[in-house]
Amino acid sequence: MSLVVEQLLNGVQFGAMLFLLAAGLTLIFGIMGIINLAHGSLFMVGAYAAALTASKTGSFALAVPAGLGAAACAGVAVELLVMRRLYARDHLDQVLATFGLILFFNEMTVILFGRQPLFVQLPAALNVSVPVAPGVLYPVYRLLLIGLGLAVAGGLYLLINRTRLGMLVRAGATNREMVRALGVDIRLIYTAVFGLGALLAGLAGLLSGPLTSVQVGMGERILILAFVVVVIGGVGSVRGAFFGAMIVGMVDTLLRAFLPGLLRNVMAGSEADALGAGLSSMGVYFLMAAVLLARPKGLFVAHG
């Protein structure tokens, strides 16, 4: 029983992490029509900046702004130097250019920091577990992640639906030329949205540092899952990204946790483990294919 509760919470926590990445991805895609494969690189930049700051200064409190700042700066630089010239282009050109950016970011990281993975120590105050249910202890840091994910979801909802900037962003997504004709500097808004997406990717990166190792290529592994989330949720919809992230996080975590055990009831141990691992990795993609076949535009179609 306690294992089930723990894995459910793990699922929510993974979902929260995926949401941070997917929110930026879906905003950038929905509003600017850009496929940004390099989003995972911004995730990595945030993770590295935070990990290095933490190891040099020993302070997790300093690592947080360092990771956020580095990711946002990298994002704005990418937007100004490359993305800005690609808005009017085919998706294919965007794929090629952002693939080039991935190669650059990954190899630059290898040159600067080497191939050895970095490990981040949690501050003692966060490195404790608290009871969440009778007899179930859960790490406080993961609870914090869940809380942050929910807070960001709420904040983004308010930003997009309740503020002037959000109104301009929604208007820009619906009809870019009209917004421009009304005297709004749409390019500035685009840069801001891209920077915000990068900031969220950096947040996800720096938060995931203490849970997994920080290494080159960490961005691409999670990027594909974030794309799955975006497509399941409906491209351009932040609400869809939130529910998509929760579903994907939950399905992935629960399958990984319980499928090998279930298979072991019907076949030999090592084969069950291999098949279970394979099938649980397939689960998320199976889910996406099923969703797209039933609702070709995703679960929540964005209304601009």
Q: Supply the minimum distance, in Å, between the C-beta of residue 270 and another protein.
A: 8
Asked if 47 and 108 count as a contact pair (C-beta separation under 8 A), the reply is no
C-alpha span between 66 and 150 (Å, rounded):
22
x-or-dash string of contact with another protein, 95-134, rule CB under 8 A: xxx-xxxxxxxxxx-xx-----------------------
SS3 category, 133: strand
Any residues with CB less than 8 A from the CB of 126 and at least 6 apart, and which? 60, 140, 141, 144
Q: In the range 251-280, which residues lie near another protein by CB under 8 A?
A: 270-271, 274-279
Q: In whole angstroms, how close is the CB of 40 to another protein at the nearest point?
A: 12
Which among 118-126, 152-160, 181-189, 227-235 is the span making contact with another protein, rule CB under 8 A?
A: 227-235
Residue 203, amino acid: L
Does the protein bind another protein through residue 222 (CB under 8 A)?
Answer: no
Cβ 265 to another protein shortest distance, Å: 17
Residue 136 bridge partners (DSSP): 133
Query: Distance between CA 188 and CA 194 in Å, rounded?
Result: 10
Q: Which is nearer to another protein, 134 or 296 (CB)?
A: 296
DSSP H or E stretch at residue 137: strand 136-139
Instruction: Kindly determine how many residues on this chain lie close enough to bind another protein according to the rule CB under 8 A.
Output: 50
Q: For tokens 């799955």, what's the residue?
A: 228
Member of 131, 134, 183, 296 binding another protein (CB under 8 A):
296
| Ramachandran class of 217: left when φ > 0, alpha when ψ lies in -120 to 50, beta otherwise | left
Please tell me whether residue 85 binds another protein under the rule CB under 8 A.
yes
3-state secondary structure 86-113: CCCCCHHHHHHHHHHHHHHHHHHHHHHH
Beta carbons of 60 and 122 less than 8 angstroms apart: yes
Which of 18, 3, 75, 66 is CA-nearest to residue 246?
Answer: 18
Q: At closest approach, how far in Å is the CB of 262 from another protein?
A: 15
In the complex, minimum distance from the CB of residue 94 to another protein, in angstroms, rounded to a whole number: 8
From candidates 16, 27, 34, 86, binder to another protein by CB under 8 A = 86
Token pair in block for residue 138:
């859960």
Residue nearer to another protein on the CB measure, 203 or 229? 229
Q: What would the x/- binding string for another protein be over residues 178 to 217, using CB under 8 A? A: ----------------------------------------
Of 188 and 289, which has the nearer Cβ to another protein?
Answer: 289
Quick one: DSSP state of residue 132? Answer: E
Q: Which is nearer to another protein, 33 or 69 (CB)?
A: 33
Q: Is 45 in the site for another protein (CB under 8 A)?
A: no
Amino acid at the residue 236: G
Binding site for another protein (CB under 8 A): 29, 35, 82, 85-86, 89-93, 95-97, 99-108, 110-111, 220, 224, 227-228, 231, 235, 270-271, 274-279, 281-282, 285-286, 288-289, 292-293, 296-298
